[in-house]
């Protein structure tokens, strides 16, 4: 488990999704098909929270979890921006 956490601590997942928007856009297209009109969403394994932020912008109550504390902290920072 430690090896996985260390890998993701050094990996720029938020930047990767910005640099390669096709993945985000395709995933978002399919995510939207299964969302209820409103409510709460658990983003488990959320990384830095790019999808969670989009959901929150749309009014969903989002709970974000990830194994990598550094990414959870990044999500907290992004949320305040």
The full DSSP string for 24-52 is HHHHHHHHHHT--SSSEEEEET-TT-HHH
Q: How far apart are CA 11 and CA 61, in angstroms?
A: 27
Q: What is the mean pLDDT of residues 19-46?
A: 95
| Average pLDDT value for the chain | 93
Q: How far apart are CA 24 and CA 45, in angstroms?
A: 15
**pLDDT at position 23, please?**
94
Instruction: Tell how far CA 22 is from the center of its chain.
Output: 15
Q: Model confidence at 11, in pLDDT bands (50, 70, 90)?
A: confident
For domain 2-80, the CATH architecture is 3-Layer(aba) Sandwich (3.40)
């Amino acid at each position: 488990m430690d090896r996985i956490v260390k890998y993701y601590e050094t990996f720029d997942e938020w930047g990767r999704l910005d640099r390669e928007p096709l993945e985000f856009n395709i995933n978002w297209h399919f995510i939207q098909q299964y969302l209820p009109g409103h409510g709460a969403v658990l983003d488990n394994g959320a990384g830095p929270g790019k999808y969670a932020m989009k959901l929150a912008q749309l009014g969903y109550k989002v709970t974000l979890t990830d194994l990598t504390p550094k990414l959870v902290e990044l999500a907290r920072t992004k949320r305040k921006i």
